[in-house]
Structure 1
Amino acid sequence: MIRTLLILLGITALLAIAIAGVSDPGQASLTWLNYRIDTSASAAVIIIGVLAFCAVSFWNVALWLSRSPQRAERKRAAVRRKQGDETLTRGFMNVASGDGTEARRQAAKALDLCDNIVLVRILSAMAAEQSDDDVATKAAYTAMLSVPELKLAGLRGLMKLAKSRGEKAEAIKLAGEAYSQPKPSMWAFEALFEAHLEAGEWAEALALIDGALTRKLISPLFSERAKASLMAASAARLETADEASSRDQALDYAQRAAKLQPAFTPAAVIAARLLGKAKKLGRAEDVLEASWAAAPHPAIWLTYRDLVSDETPKERARRLQGLIDRNPKHRESRVLQLECALLTASKPDISEAVAALADHAAGDNVTRRITGLMSRAAQALGDHDGARSWVAHAAQAKGEPEWSDIDAEANAFAYSASDWSDVILTFAQKGVLAHPRYERGEKGLPEVPDLSSRYVPSMPFIKGAKRTTVRAVDLPQPDAVDHYDAAITGQDLDEVVALPPKPTRARKAATPKAKK
């Protein structure tokens, strides 16, 4: 208002000065109610400006007075809003500090002061949850369902509450309701996906993956991993079915999974087993070779080895070399190279393969499987002491997770439904293979060979101790060199006769004492 008046006065002054500055400023006359007023033009301009100024001032004052109630209401609302914001702030700070009781008190106060119903509902739910009051928590999250912006949050809170109470069916129902919303959240998909996995419902999980990909909840990579692992689990379930149609379905699942994700070893192994039973050895080898190129695993080469049984060791080594060539620099390929060398019993090849594994057989890299392999290699090279040393070293070495995927009966990936759930979820999320048997510490195929305890220079003493018929106290003592000639020369004591008994010292006859 002041700015407007100042502008009006400025314009009036400029006009008066301009009129006064001309040679003939002119006259102005006003006749009103039989009165006549004559004055100069500049004075008339000034008078008009003053009157306009007074009129505008009067009008603005009148408006200001008429708007006083609204100004007072806005001020009260601002004060109330500030108090509400401060109450919300204190409430969230109480939740963060773990004071659920004070947080609930602030939430109740904010309900009367704050117009932001969304934040008030959220604070009420968090405060009730912090105070471990299930009834109040359920009521707070249920109240969220009436607010469109908070419906997903309310469903999530109710689902978590149901899970904490052990009400799985209710939790799944709430997750399904959240997933059916126009814009579902990722947590709803994850809850349903994990529920299907836990129940072993592979077909339902596959359908869920397709729907989530269409709705752009998951990435194409996640979808491929999940589908491959789910189809492999389905194939494992149908692999031993009595019906031929089920086994055919298992083969179809396994082949599709192996093609979709060659790095998922169980799919390739199951597909190769089923193809081998169907006498499609060439196709089985192709599947295993593709999987080896993507992610080598000991179960792959063991399955590859067992595809053909009627072959000589050299032929088998030559065939396994084709697998090695698909990924020659990988650790598993170097391990397999040593296995092939042991098959052919070629000492130069064994020495070369041992040298290639030197980095994996030292320090923290060594595992029980490597110590067992190095022990076999040392024995094949004639280093019996070295072989025993590697076996002794195995007691301190760690196991291999991949080797644990093969059980004691040489069955690869013989998992239960719960194990498959872990494998599927881990591979879908991270792209790596979980090892449930390793986590449980279950025994699998032997990693360390059973070596003979015979040590030539000591065996004569051992056999001598076993075969002698005399008492232990009558065994030859170390100073009886003649009895140790066979031991020193490394001879066997199979033909050593029983030792003659040691001569006994004759007792002195007791002489009766003379009677006094």
Structure 2
Amino acid sequence: MIRILFYLAIVFALGLGFAWLADRPGDMVVTFGGYQYQVSLMVAAVAVTAIVAAVMLSWWLAKALWNSPYTIARHFRARRRDRGYQALSTGMIAAGAGDAALARRKNKEAAKLIRSDQEPLIHLLDAQAALLEGDHDGARQKFEAMLDDPEMRLLGLRGLYLEAERLGDRAAARHYAGRAADLAPQLGWAADSTLEERAERGDWDGALALVDAQKSTRQIERETANNKRSVLLTAKAMSLYDSDFNAARVAALEANRLRPEFGPAAVVAAKALFRNNDVRKGSKVLEVAWQAEPQPEIADLYVHGRPGDAVLDRLARAKKLQSLRQNHPESSLAVARAALDAQDYALARAEAEAAARMQPREGAYLLLADIEEAETGNQGKVRQWLAKAVRAPRDPAWVADGVVSERWAPFSPVTGRLDAFEWRAPEERLGHLIEQDDERPEPVVIPSISVAHTDDIVDVPVDSDVEAKPQTSADRAVANDGPFAPDSAETAEDDEPAEPVRLPDDPGVDPDEARADTQRRFRLF
């Protein structure tokens, strides 16, 4: 478009020039070789213009004739190259679709039409075709050959990495990923694998440098980078806490600054501050993390953060922590534990029962058993609470890839994934009762059961909707119907069901609770 406008501007300028000359008549006299030539100014201008145009046209024709062999060769070369790229494109599509035969055929065609040193994608198509044909050894050799070419080196490392992952050779895969990360930190697959490998080796500084490189290349967002740095700094502080406390304190405080609501970072930072007798700042750090996600480790450290406190002082700190996150089971359990240490059994029982009502789980019932044993020593009630704890859902813990841990770890022990542990309730035990009524399947109804006596077996039909009643002596007499049937006096005395025999310290099980618990269970036998 610009070129057309440029040509139009030139034509317009020439037109204006000729019009200007036409309005101003004049003559031009040229003396050459003893002759004098006189023409009008307009004729002279037209002649000069025609001569210039003729010279330019002659030069263009001469140049075209001189360059014609090269032009013809370039035409055929471009046509051959276009055919090669078309074959390469078709081969790459076939490789992506899984058509090994077409990919191999187009690879050979592209290799004939295009030189492999000019187009590196031919090597990639060759390796992909080998993988589709099942020739993994040949594919690995082609990927290794790519390492000699700076332009193809990252592609070769990627191929070798995937092959090592396929074979399950984790060390080799991370070796290739490390080489790729050194060359190009912006590669996500290489950076993530190298980050996991350095974290497993405990090379926290190297892992932090890699995260900084990812952040500088804008491969990851700022928030994601801060989260990863917080995890790595927390792990570094935990590993250096006993050997190099100053470095651990600096790392812990920076981790808490980057992610104040992260529980493990808050715990290690608070420990470092408590060790330096900075109780106020350490308590503030724990309070922020507690408001985000209450955890038992935070509560325990907060309550015992000030050395030399009396049990009542620790109870007061637990109540303060409860005020920051009210109506939460962990808050009630923290107060209950502190009250138990202070021998305030009434408060401990009330808070533990409140926690059990808010979230019935194993830890609440175990704490109630401890309170019962400390207050009354009634072993029957203690066993009752322990039985509830066995059937109750499990307490929240650190879970990653199916692994449950009481302590936080920076990476998963199964996959090595960084920041994999989450604070949540683990999977329920096998055979645990289903609490939701809409999700509970229909009970298995057995049409009859057999009650075995000394000599006879009587089939008693059972209705699933009718509650079974204890058998009286009259019923036993009808069932026996023999010389050993009890007399009428014994029958009259036994019409009322007998009270079950219990140990002196066994309060037994509440019949209503036992009936409700039985209705919730699956009837399998």
Indicate the TM-score class for this superposition, using the shorter chain for normalisation.
0.5 to 0.7
User: What pairs up with 1:314-353 in 2 under 5 angstroms?
Assistant: 317-318=315-316, 320-328=318-326, 330-337=328-335, 344-346=344-346
C-alpha displacement at 1:209, in angstroms? 2.3
Contact between 1:368 and 1:399, CA under 8 Å: does it hold in 2? Answer: yes
Change (3 A) 1:217 1:136: farther
Q: Counterparts of 1:286 and 1:353 in 2: how far apart (Å)?
A: 24
Q: Counterparts of 1:108 and 1:377 in 2: how far apart (Å)?
A: 81
Q: Counterparts of 2:336 and 2:86 in 1: how far apart (Å)?
A: 73
Q: Counterparts of 1:477 and 1:281 in 2: how far apart (Å)?
A: 83
Aligned match of 1:510: none
Change (3 A) 1:299 1:162: same
Change (3 A) 1:304 1:14: closer
Contact between 1:486 and 1:493, CA under 8 Å: does it hold in 2? Answer: no
Q: Which of structures 1 and 2 has the bigger CA Rg?
A: 1
The question of 1:433 aligning with 2:408 is answered: no
- Give the aligned residue type for 1:229: A
Aligned match of 1:117: 119
Aligned match of 2:206: 208
Aligned match of 1:408: none
Aligned match of 1:249: 243
C-alpha displacement at 1:233, in angstroms? 5.9
Between the two proteins, the alignment pairs up a number of residues equal to 423
C-alpha displacement at 1:221, in angstroms? 3.6
Aligned match of 1:447: none
Contact between 1:145 and 1:155, CA under 8 Å: does it hold in 2? Answer: yes
Q: Counterparts of 2:351 and 2:52 in 1: how far apart (Å)?
A: 110
Change (3 A) 1:480 1:5: closer
Once the two structures are superposed, residues 262-285 of structure 1 have per-residue CA deviations (whole angstroms, 9 ceiling, x without a partner) of: 766567779999999x9x9989x9
Q: Counterparts of 2:249 and 2:41 in 1: how far apart (Å)?
A: 105
Aligned match of 2:134: 132
Change (3 A) 1:427 1:97: closer
Contact between 2:84 and 2:110, CA under 8 Å: does it hold in 1? Answer: yes
Q: Counterparts of 1:400 and 1:158 in 2: how far apart (Å)?
A: 44
User: What pairs up with 1:25-424 in 2 under 5 angstroms?
Assistant: 25-26=26-27, 28=29, 32=33, 40=40, 42-114=42-114, 117-181=119-183, 185-198=187-200, 201-202=201-202, 205-213=203-211, 215=213, 219-232=225-238, 248-249=242-243, 259=253, 260-261=255-256, 289=286, 292=290, 295-301=293-299, 317-318=315-316, 320-328=318-326, 330-337=328-335, 344-346=344-346, 360-361=358-359, 367=361, 395=391, 398-402=393-397, 412-413=406-407, 421-422=411-412
- Give the aligned residue type for 1:162: A
Once the two structures are superposed, residues 398-431 of structure 1 have per-residue CA deviations (whole angstroms, 9 ceiling, x without a partner) of: 43442889xxxxx943x9xxx774179889546x
C-alpha displacement at 1:482, in angstroms? 2.5
Q: Secondary structure at the match of 1:149?
A: coil
Change (3 A) 1:175 1:228: same
Once the two structures are superposed, residues 169-195 of structure 1 have per-residue CA deviations (whole angstroms, 9 ceiling, x without a partner) of: 443443343344375745444333433
- Give the aligned residue type for 1:333: S
Measured on the aligned residues, the alpha-carbon RMSD in Å equals 6.0
By percentage of residues, which structure has more helix? 1
Q: Counterparts of 1:13 and 1:297 in 2: how far apart (Å)?
A: 89
Q: Which runs of 5+ in 1 are unaligned?
A: 236-247, 406-410, 443-457, 462-472, 495-516
Once the two structures are superposed, residues 459-514 of structure 1 have per-residue CA deviations (whole angstroms, 9 ceiling, x without a partner) of: 9x9xxxxxxxxxxx7789998343466958x99999xxxxxxxxxxxxxxxxxxxx
Q: Tell me: higher relative CO, structure 1 or 2? Use CA pairs within 8 A at least 6 residues apart.
A: 1
Once the two structures are superposed, residues 68-110 of structure 1 have per-residue CA deviations (whole angstroms, 9 ceiling, x without a partner) of: 2333233234323432332232122112212234223333433
Once the two structures are superposed, residues 3-54 of structure 1 have per-residue CA deviations (whole angstroms, 9 ceiling, x without a partner) of: 9899799959964x766665x744746655x877665554455445444443
Q: Counterparts of 1:12 and 1:254 in 2: how far apart (Å)?
A: 85
C-alpha displacement at 1:214, in angstroms? 5.6
Contact between 1:289 and 1:326, CA under 8 Å: does it hold in 2? Answer: no
By percentage of residues, which structure has more strand? 2
Q: Counterparts of 1:233 and 1:80 in 2: how far apart (Å)?
A: 63
C-alpha displacement at 1:136, in angstroms? 2.7
Structure 1 length-normalised TM? 0.58
Aligned match of 1:453: none
Change (3 A) 1:412 1:223: same
Change (3 A) 1:26 1:422: closer
Once the two structures are superposed, residues 182-233 of structure 1 have per-residue CA deviations (whole angstroms, 9 ceiling, x without a partner) of: 75745444333433455xx32xx22322432564558344122113135436
Q: Secondary structure at the match of 2:152?
A: helix
Change (3 A) 1:188 1:18: closer
Contact between 2:31 and 2:37, CA under 8 Å: does it hold in 1? Answer: yes
Contact between 1:292 and 1:300, CA under 8 Å: does it hold in 2? Answer: yes
Q: Which runs of 5+ in 2 are unaligned?
A: 217-224, 431-468, 473-483, 505-525
C-alpha displacement at 1:145, in angstroms? 2.0
In structure 1, which of residues 461, 464, 482 is the aligned counterpart of residue 493 of structure 2? 482
Aligned match of 2:449: none
Change (3 A) 1:354 1:18: same
Once the two structures are superposed, residues 327-373 of structure 1 have per-residue CA deviations (whole angstroms, 9 ceiling, x without a partner) of: 445442144456667874438x9668866876x44xxxx65556878
- Give the aligned residue type for 1:60: W
Change (3 A) 1:49 1:8: farther
Structure 2 length-normalised TM? 0.57
Task: Give the fraction of aligned pairs with identical amino acids, expressed as a percent.
Answer: 22
Mean Cα deviation higher: 69-78 or 267-276: 267-276
Q: Counterparts of 1:255 and 1:477 in 2: how far apart (Å)?
A: 85
Aligned match of 2:481: none
